[in-house]
Chain A
Amino acid sequence: MGLGYLTTIGTLVCIYAILAISLNIISGYAGQASLGHAAFFGIGAYASALLTLKLGIGFWVAAPLAMMAAGAIGAVVGVISLRIKGDFLAVTTIGINFVIVTVFEYSDFFGGAYGIMGIQYPTLFGVKISKGYYLLMCLGFVGLCALFSLLVSKSWLGLALEAIRENEAAAEASGINCAKFKIIAFAFGCAWAGLAGVLFAHFMRFITPNDFAFPISITIVAMMVVGGIGTLRGPILGALLMAALPELLRPLANYRLLFYGGLIVLMTRFQPQGLFGDKAFILRMLLGRGPRSMRHSGD
C-alpha cells in the first residue's frame, strides 16, 4: 500500500465526509428525508467540469459557481418539499436523482454516457497542486463544512430546523416560517454537496453519470446513519469508517456489497442512533457509563 494509494483514499474519505455532513443538515437537523443527495454531488461536479473546460474559467472561480448551481437546484427541491412530505418526499428525491442522472447520460452537452474526460487538476498561483496538498485542501474543506454545520446547529437557524423536525405544525404555530427554513436547509446542504462534487471532479479528472447514481445517494445516507444521524461527529466518523473500510479490506473485495448491506441492516436494527450517536453503546462505554441494553426499540 503506497503513499499515493493512501492519499487517494484519504481524499475520497474527505469528499464523502463533506457529503455526509451536508446531508445531515437536511436530514439530521431539518428532518427532511433526502435519498437523492448524489444528484447534487453530480451537479457540482458537472458544473465545475464544464465551466473549467468549456469556458476556461479557473478552478477557484468555478468552484463557488458550481456550489451556487447545486444550491439553487437544491432550493427548488426545498420548494417541492413544502408540498410533498414524508415518505412521498423520500421517493420524490429518488426520482430527482434518477432524472438528473438521466439528463447527464442522454444529453451530448454533458458528455453522454461516456462522461467528461480531461478535467484539469487545480492550480494555485499558477502552480499545479500536488496530490498531497490536494488532500490537505480537501481536509480544509471538511473543516470548513464541519464548522458551518456546527454554526448552523448552534444558531437560531438550527433551533428552527430542530423545531421543524420534531413537529412541523407546532413550529409553524409558534411563528417559525417553516417554508423559509426548509428551503434554506436544502439550499445549504446541496451547495456543500456541490462543493464535494467539484473536489471529486478535479481529483478524478474523469466523471461519468454513474458516479452520481442512486446507489451513491444510499452510500451517503448509510454513512450518516451508521455514524449517527443528527450529530456532527456521526457523519464524519461514518464517512471515515465506510469509505475507508472496504478499501482496507481488499481481500474481501468480492464480498464488499454483501458486507456493506449487512452492516447497514445490523446497524439500523440494533443501533439506529448510529455508532457514534447520542445513545450509542460505544460512546457509553467510552464515557464509562457502562453498556446497558443494546436495544432501544420497545417491543
Chain B
Amino acid sequence: MVQQFLNGIITGSLYALIAVGLTMVYGILRILHIAHAAVFVGGAYIGLVAYTFTGSLVLALIAAAAGCSVLGYLIQRYLYTPMLTEERIVPLIASVGLFILCEDLFRLLGGPYIRAFKVDLWFEKIAFLEAVVTAHQVLILITTAVCLLVVYAVISKTKLGLAWQATAQDMDTARAMGVNIRQVVTFNFIIASSIAAIAGVMTAINYNSVLPTMGSVISYKMFAIVVLGGMGSIPGTVVASLIIGMSETFMSAYFGFIMPRDAIAFTAMILILIVRPQGLFGRAR
C-alpha cells in the first residue's frame, strides 16, 4: 500500500514536470504543444551525451536544460509565432508534424535501440516504513519539488512573472499596457523546455533507458493531464498529474485486468470533461 502510494507519487511527479511546461505554453499562446514531448526526449539524449562525457549528473542536467531551451526558443520563434494568426488547428498540426520529425531524427541520430543511462547515486535503496525507496526516486521527488517551487516563485514573485500572468489572462490587453510580449513568450518557452529536459533526464535515469520513442505515449498522456487540470492552470496540472500517476499505479496494481495503464488517463479525462467541460480546475469560460 505504502509502496504503491510512493510509486504513484513518483510517476505523478514525472508527469507534473512534463505537463507544467505544456500548460504554461497553452496558457500564453493557446497552442497544444505536442512537440513538447520531443523536447522531453531531446533532453534525455542531451543529458545522456553530456553525462557520458563529463560523468556529472549536475552538468548533464544543465546541458539538457540549456539545449532544450534553445530548441524550445527556436520552435516558438520560427514555427509558432508566425502562425498565431492562422486557424487554431494549424499550429496543432504543425506541432504534430514537428513531433514526428524529431522522433525520427532521434532514431536516426541515436539509433533505434534502447541506450542505458546508468547513474550511481550516493546510496542504492532504503527501506521506508514498509516500502523500498531507491535513490533515483528520492532524487526525482527533490528535483520535482525544486522545479515546481522555482516556477511558482518566478511566476508569483518576479516582475517577469507578473507580466506572464497578465499575458496569460489577456495577451492583447497586456500588450496595450506595455508588457513586452515577446520577452514573456521567450521566457515561457525557456522555463517550460528546461523542466521538460529535466523530466527527460529524470525519466531516463529512473528506468535506466533512453530510446527514440520514449515520448510517444507521454505526448498524448500529457494532454489528458493538462485538460484534467483545466488547461493553463499550473496548480491544477500538478494535482492532475498526481491523480493520474496514483490512479495508474493503483489500478494496475489492484485491477490490472480491467484496462491497460495508458488508457486510464484518457478514460478519466473523457468522463470528467463530459461532466465538467472546463476541466477539473479550470474556470468556466
Binding site for B on A (CB under 8 A): 27, 33, 35, 80, 83-88, 90-92, 94-96, 98-99, 102, 105-106, 214-215, 218, 221-222, 225, 229, 254-258, 260-265, 267-269, 272, 295, 297-299
Contact = CB atoms under 8 A, between A and B. Distances in A.
B269 to A, nearest CB: 6
Contact of A99 (B99, B227, B270): B270
B220 interface: yes
Contact of A268 (B91, B99, B102, B104): B91
Interface string B246-276: 0000000000000110110011011001100
B92 A90 contact: yes
B89 A90 contact: yes
Contacts of A85: 277
A102 B266 CA distance: 11
Nearest to B94: A268
B88 A91 contact: no
A258 B106 CA distance: 10
Interface of B: 26, 30, 32, 79, 82-94, 96-105, 108, 220, 223-224, 227, 231, 259-260, 262-263, 266-267, 269-270, 273-274, 277, 279
B223 A99 contact: no
A298 B83 CA distance: 8
B229 to A, nearest CB: 12
B97 A268 contact: yes
A265 B104 contact: no
Contact of A218 (B90, B96, B231, B269): B96
Given A27-B89, A80-B274, A87-B88, A257 B104 contact: yes
A87 B32 contact: yes
A100 to B, nearest CB: 10
A87 to B, nearest CB: 6
Contact of A272 (B86, B262, B277): B86
A36 B128 CA distance: 44
Contact of A258 (B88, B101, B227): B101
A106 B252 CA distance: 14
Contacts of B93: 218, 221-222, 225, 264, 268
Given A84-B274, A87-B32, A258-B108, A299 B266 contact: no
Contact of B94 (A80, A83, A94, A264): A264
Chain A interface, >50% SS class: helix
Contact of A297 (B85, B88, B260, B263): B85
Given A92-B270, A95-B266, A95-B270, A265 B101 contact: yes
Given A84-B274, A98-B263, A261-B102, A297 B96 contact: no
Nearest to B267: A99
A218 B100 contact: yes
A90 B33 CA distance: 13
Nearest to A101: B263
List the 9 shortest-distance A-B pairs measured between CB atoms, nearest first.
A264-B97, A261-B101, A261-B100, A95-B266, A268-B94, A257-B104, A102-B263, A258-B104, A265-B97
Given A87-B30, A99-B270, 7 more contacts: A88-B231, A91-B32, A95-B220, A257-B101, A258-B104, A258-B108, A297-B83
A83 B83 CA distance: 27
Contact of A98 (B100, B101, B108, B220): B220
Contacts of A92: 227, 269-270, 273
A261 B266 contact: no
Given A85-B277, A257-B103, A214 B220 contact: yes
A263 B104 contact: no
A91 B223 CA distance: 7
26 contacts: A27-B89, A86-B88, A87-B231, A88-B231, A91-B224, A91-B269, A94-B220, A95-B269, A98-B266, A222-B93, A222-B96, A225-B93, A229-B89, A256-B104, A260-B100, A260-B101, A261-B102, A264-B97, A264-B100, A265-B98, A268-B83, A268-B90, A269-B79, A269-B83, A297-B82, A297-B83
A87 B86 CA distance: 15
B40 to A, nearest CB: 17
B100 A33 contact: no
A264 B91 CA distance: 11
Contact of B101 (A262, A297, A298): A262
Nearest to A254: B108
Contact of A91 (B83, B86, B105, B227): B227
Contacts of B32: 87, 90-91
B197 to A, nearest CB: 21
A247 to B, nearest CB: 17
Nearest to A82: B277
A262 B94 CA distance: 9
B104 A272 contact: no
Nearest to B227: A91
Contacts of A256: 104
A272 B209 CA distance: 38
Contacts of B96: 218, 221-222, 264
A84 B97 contact: no
A123 to B, nearest CB: 38
